[in-house]
Structure 1
């Protein structure tokens, strides 16, 4: 039995708690939040002990692993503290808000080979994603010619005002890129590889009176062999359609969304057994499967999808995000593979 503690008792923590309840080998033992009312309510709902201090929770010897679901700027620091306490870590994305801090996290983790670590890129476990990953590895479509990434969601004034850390450079680390589109960029880096360079622009439009970070961004990245990756992200749309990634191959045009894989305008059959009823629809269906794969690693159970867990490669999508921010400031191409 793997006993978990969750730090941060917001919306996504409930999704993690529901997933743990469905996994026989896992148990939610504790929760932690600086908001005592919210934290105690969460603890009562999910039957776990409440802590008002993260370091105190880490001292609990009954806790084997922690789930970090706090504001972005705390992810790196809290991961390092968990490693120091000898805890396994499942961290919400991003793994940190700077590449430098993320590299520090990975360096510390590599010093402790007995600890498991994963970053929550749960969409990798969507049936559509899993199927395309397999097909690309089998070189089913021929040479890659280009990729288009598109995310257009709705995040209004109320969304940002509900949490004071959001919409700030210091605590969120950015806007639509680092919070929403980073999942879409992970498709590129996981399915293919980290691009060699990137150039982009960010802007704040409809939310300019509410947030200091971007609500829209456009960028172009370049993969080896001069394959272009075109990126469009916005939080200003009227609804939350599934983000899409279009791959142009020599022999096929492939469109990937959370629940569909369309090859040359024909829906492809998807692998069964990976569907999850846990999580918001536009986040994809892979959350339960993601948490289960992490738990299976901890208890030593074989899992054919354990390789989908984002570990060191979680750094790549963060490099793309931070590369766009750097390019916007400098007006120049930013090398990503240095």
Structure 2
């Protein structure tokens, strides 16, 4: 098997999960890291025994790096990710893949045109319960899907938003749906399929920031099923995200990583749970690297076999497109038919 050589652009807190995931893959190595902060890049490099640079273009110019992880602030994902792809490197980009559907589409199209693998980080797809739920739905065990509900009652303090100038801004961070809610929205799309129409409402109720701390939406899926979305960073003390799925033949409710309700004919309720795997309820970094590792292994397998990864650029684009449609609906005060509005930034 090939020795896969990684580079990481961005040495903030989430980069530590990427570093740990790479460290745990036998046939992978971290070659170099980049950060605008030389002290931060040097600290990671000295700890991991790799090279470091302050200009990520120096990292991209190396011919001993195959896969690049982009773990910078959200607003820079699209521009840096495009540079990665144009440098001929495979790309793993943290969520959200871009801040608007147009840029996400450009990333996905560029990767396809250049024959490169692009994966948007959605590590929750690799949790055992979510894999099982997807299988149950694909096999039709719930019957016709009627309703899919997502709730994300999180808490973030004002200090969290004040900790960096870009936090809480529309251009660089996004609000609760684009930032904290993107993982649950990705799962909702994975489980229930594409959305054809949305009606959204957003508000900023408890924080001093530009973006929303409350987002709501009613969805209609291509299948004809309906959906509801609620995301907030104002709910004290914060509670696990939930997804509820209701079909003609049964229902499932997922709370955090635990299945709390399971009525699936012919299928035994799973008991797997790993709450520390997906925290983020009030502490954004209370997550483990295990499922980043699973996603990286899936990316490596996709490159080796020429197949699409489980969380592809197309999937990242769909999630961003949904959030953008909710925002546009809230702005207009009207239902948005997805695919009919132009993908503008």
Common topology (TM > 0.5): yes
Within 5 A, what are the aligned runs for 1:34-183?
34-113=36-115, 115-172=116-173, 174-183=174-183
Aligned to 2:298: 293
1:3 matches 2:5? yes
Root mean square deviation, CA, Å? 2.3
Q: What are structure 1's unaligned runs of at least 5 residues?
A: none
The CA deviation string for residues 58-106 of structure 1, in whole angstroms up to 9 with x for no partner, is 0111111100011111111111111111101000011110111111111
| Worse-superposed segment, 80-89 or 44-53 | 44-53
The CA deviation string for residues 96-143 of structure 1, in whole angstroms up to 9 with x for no partner, is 101111111112111111x21100000000111100000111001111
Displacement after TM superposition at 1:301 (Å): 10
Aligned to 1:185: 185
Displacement after TM superposition at 1:296 (Å): 2.8
2:214–2:233 Cα contact (<8 Å) kept: yes
Q: 2-side partners of 1:320 and 1:222: how far apart?
A: 11
Q: 2-side partners of 1:15 and 1:189: how far apart?
A: 25
Q: 2-side partners of 1:101 and 1:132: how far apart?
A: 31
Q: What are structure 2's unaligned runs of at least 5 residues?
A: 281-286, 341-345
Residues 62 and 280 of structure 1, relative CA distance in 2, 3 Å threshold: same
Which secondary structure does the structure 1 equivalent of 2:229 belong to? strand
Aligned to 1:236: 234
Which secondary structure does the structure 1 equivalent of 2:234 belong to? coil
Which secondary structure does the structure 2 equivalent of 1:96 belong to? coil
Q: 2-side partners of 1:230 and 1:278: how far apart?
A: 26
The CA deviation string for residues 12-58 of structure 1, in whole angstroms up to 9 with x for no partner, is 10001001111011111111111122221122222221110011110
Q: 1-side partners of 2:292 and 2:238: how far apart?
A: 18
If the length of structure 2 is used for normalisation, what is the TM-score? Answer: 0.89
Aligned length: 328
2:134–2:191 Cα contact (<8 Å) kept: yes
Which secondary structure does the structure 2 equivalent of 1:196 belong to? strand
Residues 276 and 218 of structure 1, relative CA distance in 2, 3 Å threshold: closer
Aligned to 1:227: 225
Which secondary structure does the structure 1 equivalent of 2:178 belong to? helix
Aligned to 2:199: 199
